[in-house]
Amino acid sequence: MSSKLLRLRTARQRHFLPPPLLQLVPVLLLLPPSRPASAAAATAVTHLPGFDGPLPFNLETGYVGVEEETGAELFYYFVESERSPGTDPLLLWLTGGPRCSIIMGLAFEIGPLKFVLAPYSGGLPELVYNPYSWTKMANILLLDSPVGSGFSFARDPKGYYVGDYSSSSQVQTFLNKWFTDHPQYLSNPFYIGGDSYAGKVIPLIAQGISEGIDMRQQPVINLKTYGYYLAYFWMNNNMTRKALGIKEGTTSEWIQCNIGLPYTYETPSSIPYHLNLTMKGYRALVYSGDHDLEAPFLGTQAWIRSLNFSIVADWRAWHLSGQAAGFTIEYTNNMTFATVKGAGHTAPEYRPKECFAMAQRWLDNEPL
Return the CATH number at 59.
3.40.50.1820
For residue 317, tell me if it sits in a domain: no
Assess whether 149 carries a catalytic annotation.
no
7: pLDDT confidence band, cut at 50, 70 and 90?
very low
Residue 349 lies in a domain: no
Tens of pLDDT, residue by residue over 300-352, are 888 888 889 999 999 999 999 999 999 999 999 888 999 999 888 888 888 88
| pLDDT above 70 for 20 | no
Instruction: Classify residue 244: in a domain, yes or no.
Output: yes
| Domain-embedded: residue 297 | no
Least confidently predicted of 102-111, 121-130, 219-228, 256-265: 219-228
Question: Does a structural domain hold residue 322?
Answer: no
Which residue in the list 196, 210, 270, 288 is annotated as catalytic?
196
- Please tell me the predicted confidence (pLDDT) of residue 278: 80
| Domain contains 241 | yes
Whether residue 17 is predicted with pLDDT greater than 60 in this model: the reply is no
Residue range 255-269: average pLDDT? 80
Tell me whether residue 342 is in a domain: no
Domain count across the chain: 1
Question: Residue 287: phi, psi to the nearest 5?
Answer: -135, 150
Paired residues of 163 in beta bridges:
264
Tell me which residue range forms the domain holding 93: 3-277
pLDDT digit string, tens, across residues 223-257: 665 555 678 778 888 889 999 999 988 888 888 88
**Among candidates 242, 232, 41, 62, which has minimal Cα distance to 152?**
62
> When comparing pLDDT for 79 and 163, which is higher?
79
Tell me if residue 144 is catalytic: no
State the CB neighbour count (10 A cutoff) for residue 360.
16
The verdict on whether 196 is a catalytic residue reads yes
The pLDDT, as a whole number, for residue 261 is: 82
Tell me whether residue 118 is in a domain.
yes
How would residue 288 be classed by pLDDT, with cut points 50, 70 and 90?
confident
> Poorest-confidence range of 3-7, 167-171, 218-222, 333-337?
3-7
